[in-house]
């Protein structure tokens, strides 16, 4: 699977493009990016990657059989800059089809611009409309409020909390584990079976439906 196809998301001030990237492009993630503690502290790592590490990572994801990954490109004034990466990993097709999502905006100067939220929309559309997944899982470390809100906007809801899962900034932090469910009737019915979804799940479904409708109108493929 490796790289996902190009998806373009227009926005008021800039355009977000999810697209493949080359090995040399991946150095944008680490210089300075992931060599900054402010970026790496929520990524479950204690070391700063260097060029050889990034090239090794690139080769591993390029050959991956159970991942779909995109570079997150920011296009503005006819120039394009690689600012992050998003993916669907650990893809499993079985009695239920599911994957785990992740995103990293590696350049802090682009945080708070809504880039992750737009990438979540496109990735959600691809997961459900193109891959036929029942569920997408994700996780957020406590304290990363913006990331949690961005996921909730497209319909992720909390399933459980891993207590004391990480040590960040001198404190033990919990991790919230979330899920996003395919709102299409067939997938929804298969997932819940004889159980009745709660109010929170119903509201999350509405947000996901709105996300997919937005993508059908705005997303360019």
**Looking at residue 7, what is its pLDDT?**
98
- Model confidence at 18: pLDDT above 70: yes
Categorize the per-residue pLDDT at 44 as very low, low, confident or very high, splitting at 50, 70 and 90.
low
Inform me whether the pLDDT recorded for 203 exceeds 80.
Answer: yes
d(CA 61, CA 45): 18
Q: How far is it, in rounded angstroms, from Cα 138 to Cα 123?
A: 13
Which band of pLDDT confidence, cut at 50, 70 and 90, is reported for residue 6?
very high
pLDDT band at 12 (very low <50, low <70, confident <90, very high): confident
Q: What's the pLDDT tens digit per position in 64-97?
A: 999 999 999 999 888 899 999 999 999 999 999 9
User: What sign for the dihedral angle of Cα 206, 212, 218, 219?
Assistant: positive
Cα(32)–Cα(139) distance, rounded to whole angstroms? 25
Lowest mean pLDDT among 24-38, 70-84, 91-105, 179-193: 24-38
pTM of the model: 0.93
Tell the CATH topology of 2-218.
Aminopeptidase (3.40.630)
138: pLDDT strictly greater than 70: yes
Residue 115 per-residue DSSP state: H
Of the pLDDT bands very low, low, confident and very high (cuts 50, 70, 90), residue 116 is very high
* CB of 118 closer than 8 Å to CB of 111: no
* Per-residue pLDDT, 49: 85
Task: Determine phi and psi for 169, rounding to 5 degrees.
Answer: 55, 40
Q: Which pLDDT score, from 0 to 100, does residue 42 have?
A: 66
Burial state string for 189-202 with b = 16 or more CB within 10 A and e = fewer than 16: eebeeeeeeeeebe
Q: What is the mean pLDDT of residues 116-133?
A: 97
Instruction: Please check the confidence at residue 1 and state whether its pLDDT lies above 80.
Output: no
Q: What is the mean pLDDT of residues 13-42?
A: 85
Q: Can you tell me the distance from the alpha carbon of 30 to that of 102, in angstroms, rounded to the nearest whole number?
A: 17
209, pLDDT greater than 80: yes
pLDDT at 39 over 80: no
Average pLDDT over residues 24-53: 81
Domain ranges, ordered by start, for the chain: 2-218
Three-class DSSP category at 76: strand
- Contact at 8 Å (CB) between 178 and 137? yes
Share of the chain above pLDDT 70, in %: 98
158-183 confidence digits (pLDDT tens): 999 999 998 888 889 999 999 999 99
């Amino acid at each position: 699977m490796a790289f996902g196809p190009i998806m373009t998301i227009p926005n008021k001030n800039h355009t977000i493009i999810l697209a493949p990237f080359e090995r040399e492009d991946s150095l944008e993630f680490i210089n300075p990016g992931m060599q900054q503690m402010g970026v790496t502290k929520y990524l479950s790592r204690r070391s700063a990657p260097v060029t050889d590490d990034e090239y090794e990572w690139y080769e591993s994801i390029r050959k991956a059989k159970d991942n779909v990954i995109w570079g997150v490109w920011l296009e503005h004034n006819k120039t394009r800059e690689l600012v992050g990466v998003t993916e669907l990993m650990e893809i499993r097709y079985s009695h239920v089809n599911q994957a785990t999502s992740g995103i990293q905006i590696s350049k802090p100067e682009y945080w708070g611009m809504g880039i992750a939220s737009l990438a979540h929309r496109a990735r959600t559309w691809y997961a459900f409309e193109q891959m036929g997944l029942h569920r997408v899982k994700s996780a957020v470390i406590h304290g990363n409020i913006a990331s949690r809100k961005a996921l909730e906007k497209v319909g992720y809801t909390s399933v459980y909390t891993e207590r004391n899962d990480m040590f960040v900034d001198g404190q033990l932090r919990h991790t919230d584990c979330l899920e996003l469910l395919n709102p299409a009737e067939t997938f929804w019915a298969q997932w819940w079976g004889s159980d009745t979804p709660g109010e929170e799940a119903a509201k999350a479904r509405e947000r996901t439906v709105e996300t997919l409708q937005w993508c059908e109108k705005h997303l360019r493929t």
